[in-house]
Amino acid sequence: MKVLQLGKFYPITGGVEKVMFDLTVALSTAGVDCDMLCADETGKRHTMVKQLNENAKLITTPTWIKRYATCISPSMITELRSRCNQYDIIHLHHPDPMGALTLLLSNYHGKVVLHWHSDIIKQHVLLKFYMPLQNWIIHRADVIVGTTPIYVNESPHLKHAKDKLTSMPIGIDPVLPNPQKVEKIRKRFLGKKIIFSLGRLVTYKGYKFLIDAAEFLPDDYIVLIGGSGALKNELQEQIESKKLNSKVVLLGRVSDEDLPSYYGACDLYCLSSIYKTEAFAIVQIEAMSCGKPIIATKIPHSGVSWVNADGISGFNVEPCNPKQLSDAIKKVMSNKELYDQLSKGAKIRYNDLFTKEKMLNKCLEIYHNVLRK
């Protein structure tokens, strides 16, 4: 069996690209020939082929221009046309119009796995023009894979493809905090109950409501928000205008090296996202792998509240509701027996559903089923 992971960008900056790369490495390490083809965003002018291991290559093609969160890379088309016949399965990661167009024009006749990471939510102009191609790829796919059963079953774009749907939760290696760094963070916020959240500072992350929630928390709580983005100044002004400087800290970008220690240092992880753009939230399972209870939001048609099982790994509250966020945080933090129960439940849920091994095994099962059709 030889597989190609197709779509999105390189270097890896987002969740979709990370899943592509992780699958490429995991499958190839397990002995499956698996390559990855994507557009390069670093300004390189030529197609590059990097041997990842004896069973995997990373193929990146130059980007002409980026519009509507899509890299335009005509070289992807010519590259796939020259290679496509060597693959038994092409695993296309959606949403990526360039990847879908590349597949359409490749003259590939083999099996197609369509990985539906999310609907196109914000790019209304793009969706209008992309819709015929999207409909084609839904029809062309042999199977459509969601990261949660809820998201694909409730997507309006997939309502006529119910017989093709399955799900494969994202899997990650456990986060391993550095004890010395954890101690340093704990000392910095000595005597505080630490609530951690991580993500780009953009509207759909709902940080406005998390900051508002801090108003209802006692003085021995501190909310740490890691990440950078367009709303940084606006959120900082909100913190200052509400006199919450002692309760909310914008950490800025947290390095990959330091991030595990923030998960280790925090008492609880909070996901305040408000729109379906948040389809899964890998940050939840990163926190779960450290045994941290989760407070998340019940975003309609999103898989977020499926990942965080209410009453098992944490609690889910209504989006855009600061009071519910703060009440849920206080409920967990004020009851040691409940805290320990949710902490244990979070770690068990991670081990049961969200390890890389679980993702690899499910992916292989999907591939074998497709090849039998």
The 10s digit of each residue's pLDDT in 92-126 is: 999 889 999 999 999 999 999 999 998 876 666 66
pLDDT tens sequence across 314-347: 999 999 999 999 999 999 999 999 999 999 999 9
pLDDT at 126: 67
**DSSP state at residue 49:** E
CATH architecture of 179-353: 3-Layer(aba) Sandwich (3.40)
- Sorting pLDDT into bands at 50, 70 and 90, what band is 12? confident
Two tokens, residue 211: 């900051």
φ, ψ for residue 58 (rounded to 5)? Answer: -105, 120
pLDDT exceeds 80 at position 67: no
How far is residue 234's CA from residue 230's CA, in Å, rounded to a whole number? 8
Answer for the pair 145, 7: CB distance below 8 angstroms, yes or no.
Answer: no
Segment 73-88 shows an average pLDDT of: 95
Cα first-last separation, the chain: 15
Strands of the sheet containing 314-317, edge to edge, are: 248-252, 221-226, 193-198, 268-270, 294-297, 314-317
Q: Which residue has the tokens 């595990």?
A: 260
pLDDT at 294: 98
In the three-class reduction of DSSP (H, G, I as helix; E, B as strand; rest coil), residue 178 is classed as coil
Domain residues of the chain, as ranges? 2-171+355-372, 179-353
Provide the mean pLDDT of the chain: 94
Fold: same for 2-171+355-372 and 179-353 = yes
Find the helix or strand (DSSP H, E) in which 242 lies: none
β-pairing, 165-167 vs 143-146, is parallel
Angle between helices 336-353 and 322-333 (to 10 degrees): 100
Instruction: Tell me if 279 sits within 8 A of 248, measured CB to CB.
Output: no
> Which tokens sit at 308?
């965080």
Half-sphere exposure of 276 (CA within 13 A, CB side): 16
- Range 2-171+355-372: architecture per CATH: 3-Layer(aba) Sandwich (3.40)
Q: Which of 123, 133, 131 is nearest to 103 (CA)?
A: 133
Token readout for 65 is 């221009």
Helix (H, G, I), strand (E, B) or coil at 360: helix
What digits encode the pLDDT tens for the residues 126-172? 678 889 999 999 999 999 999 999 999 999 999 999 999 999 999 99
Contacts of 370 (CB under 8 A, 6+ apart): 89, 111, 113, 142, 143
**What is the value of pTM for the model shown?**
0.91
Q: How many percent of the chain have pLDDT more than 70?
A: 98
266 class by beta-carbon count within 10 Å (0-12 exposed, 13-18 middle, 19+ buried): buried
Q: Which pLDDT belongs to residue 124?
A: 67
**What residue ranges in 28-101 does DSSP mark as E strands?**
33-40, 48-53, 56-62, 65-67, 70-72, 89-94
Is the model's pLDDT at 292 over the cut of 80?
A: yes
Closest Cα partner for 346 from 260, 279, 275, 267? 267
Q: Which of these ranges, 28-37, 44-53, 116-125, has the smallest mean pLDDT?
A: 116-125
Cα–Cα separations (whole angstroms), residue 121 to 17, 66, 204, 260: 18, 18, 11, 30
Which of these ranges, 74-78, 126-130, 185-189, 309-313, has the smallest mean pLDDT?
126-130
CA dist., res. 295 & res. 310, Å (int): 9
Give the 3-state secondary structure of 21-42.
HHHHHHHHHCCCEEEEEEEECC
